[in-house]
Amino acid sequence: MSSHNQRLHVAVGVIRDGDGRILITQRAKHAHQGGLWEFPGGKLEPGEPVRQALARELAEELGIEVQTAAPLIKIKHDYGDRHVLLDVWNVTGFAGQARGCEGQAMRWIKVEQLQDFSFPAANLPIIAAAQLPHYYAILEGRSATEAWDNCRRILATGIKLLQFRVKSLPHADLQSVLDQVSQLCLQQQVSLLVNADLPVHTANAQGLHLSSRALLASHERPNGYRWVAASCHNLDELRHAETLGLDFAVLAPVQATASHPDAAPLGWQALTELLDQINLPVFALGGLGPRDLDRALAAGAQGVAGISAFLAAD
């Protein structure tokens, strides 16, 4: 194996301050991917655990001590001259004041500003992962009243990412319920994705959610949406979502669910193995709720998606 084929394992931190701002630093001009902005971090030493490498690199580069960190996403990327595995962690607690210990430029920026900076090519899914929350709620309802009631209950839990998928609603009611839901989402700064199978106008939504059938029928990313996501059940579908340049996927069913009793659950092990093979933020769905977040993160997921799990009691 030539040295270029050996994958360089890199520990990377998406560091957040108390206001949710993110720290980015600029790579030295002469370095690989020089001059571009990056999330601080660096190469693992031989035999070094990744969590330890993360702490060491952030101490060396920024003079901070990592206190709270959780896995965010893993990216494998071939630059041609170098093959990297970026092992990216969310760092939400640290001691000390970050400074550029190696003379590098640094900025604390809002998550929305990540688009305004040039990062290495491998960073695209990291930026999506950094901007997405850990929970994705799916709105269902058999009547306009029930859908609206469910929407209010879901948003009351603090959900910031919502899919409008009220497939059992009479078509005559769909548009007015969607208009009402999108109004409330706008007010509460919730990102709303509309399921692409629904016969509605999506002008007031930030995103489109493709069913796995719609995903496989698509040859390019739909235009004009801040977020485009898809439902997946296997590696082929996940790969297709990645190839189209979608922002994230939902993978189901991870556990057995009452709503889909015939579908064989993947289980945590298969979930981990599937997520290891793609560079895309993925929410785990199926028999899961907020209590499963740590397990989902450990498996390499962005977080947890659910329907009934996010309906808080009134």
Among residues 10, 38, 20, the alpha carbon closest in space to that of 92 is found at 20
User: Is residue 33 involved in binding ligand 8DG (CB under 6 A)?
Assistant: yes
Residue 67 phi/psi, 5-degree rounding, is -115, -40
Nearer to Mg ion, 85 or 156 (CB): 85
- Check: CB of residue 74 under 8 Å from CB of residue 272: no
User: Is residue 38 involved in binding ligand 8DG (CB under 6 A)?
Assistant: yes
Q: How far is the CB of 265 from ligand 8DG (least distance, A)?
A: 34
Distance CA 269, CA 145 (A): 39
Nearer to Mg ion, 82 or 295 (CB): 82
Among residues 163, 159, 148, the alpha carbon closest in space to that of 189 is found at 159
User: Is residue 9 involved in binding ligand 8DG (CB under 6 A)?
Assistant: no
Long-range contacts at 285-290 (CB < 8 A, ≥ 24 apart): 285/138, 285/250, 285/251, 285/252, 285/253, 285/254, 286/252, 286/253, 286/254, 286/255, 286/256, 286/257, 286/260, 287/253, 287/254, 287/255, 287/256, 287/257, 288/254, 288/255, 290/135
Whether cis (ω within 30° of 0) applies to the bond prior to 133 is no
User: Is residue 32 involved in binding ligand 8DG (CB under 6 A)?
Assistant: yes
Which of Mg ion, ligand 8DG, none does residue 141 bind (CB under 5 to 8 Å by kind)? none
Which of Mg ion, ligand 8DG, none does residue 131 bind (CB under 5 to 8 Å by kind)? none
User: Is residue 133 involved in binding Mg ion (CB under 5 A)?
Assistant: no
User: Is residue 120 involved in binding ligand 8DG (CB under 6 A)?
Assistant: yes
User: Is residue 122 involved in binding ligand 8DG (CB under 6 A)?
Assistant: yes
**Of 23, 26, 41, 128, the one binding ligand 8DG by CB under 6 A:** 41
**Of 86, 161, 190, 193, the one binding ligand 8DG by CB under 6 A:** 86
Task: Let me know how long the chain is.
Answer: 314
Angle among Cα 139, 211, 141 to the nearest 5 degrees reads 20
Which of ligand 8DG, Mg ion, none does residue 159 bind (CB under 5 to 8 Å by kind)? none
**Of 42, 133, 222, 265, the one binding Mg ion by CB under 5 A:** 42
User: Is residue 55 involved in binding ligand 8DG (CB under 6 A)?
Assistant: no
User: Is residue 231 involved in binding ligand 8DG (CB under 6 A)?
Assistant: no
Q: How far is the CB of 171 from ligand 8DG (least distance, A)?
A: 46
- Check: CB of residue 77 under 8 Å from CB of residue 303: no
Residue 244, token pair as written in the block: 């189209």
Which of ligand 8DG, Mg ion, none does residue 190 bind (CB under 5 to 8 Å by kind)? none
User: Is residue 100 involved in binding Mg ion (CB under 5 A)?
Assistant: no
User: Is residue 110 involved in binding ligand 8DG (CB under 6 A)?
Assistant: no
Residue nearest to Mg ion (CB): 42
Distance CA 125, CA 117 (A): 14
Residue nearest to ligand 8DG (CB): 42
User: Is residue 12 involved in binding ligand 8DG (CB under 6 A)?
Assistant: yes
Residues that bind ligand 8DG (rule: CB under 6 A) add up to a total of 18
Distance CA 58, CA 40 (A): 7
- Check: CB of residue 257 under 8 Å from CB of residue 286: yes
Provide the binding-site residues for ligand 8DG, judged by CB under 6 A. Answer: 10, 12, 31-33, 38-43, 57, 82, 84, 86, 120, 122-123
Provide the binding-site residues for Mg ion, judged by CB under 5 A. Answer: 42
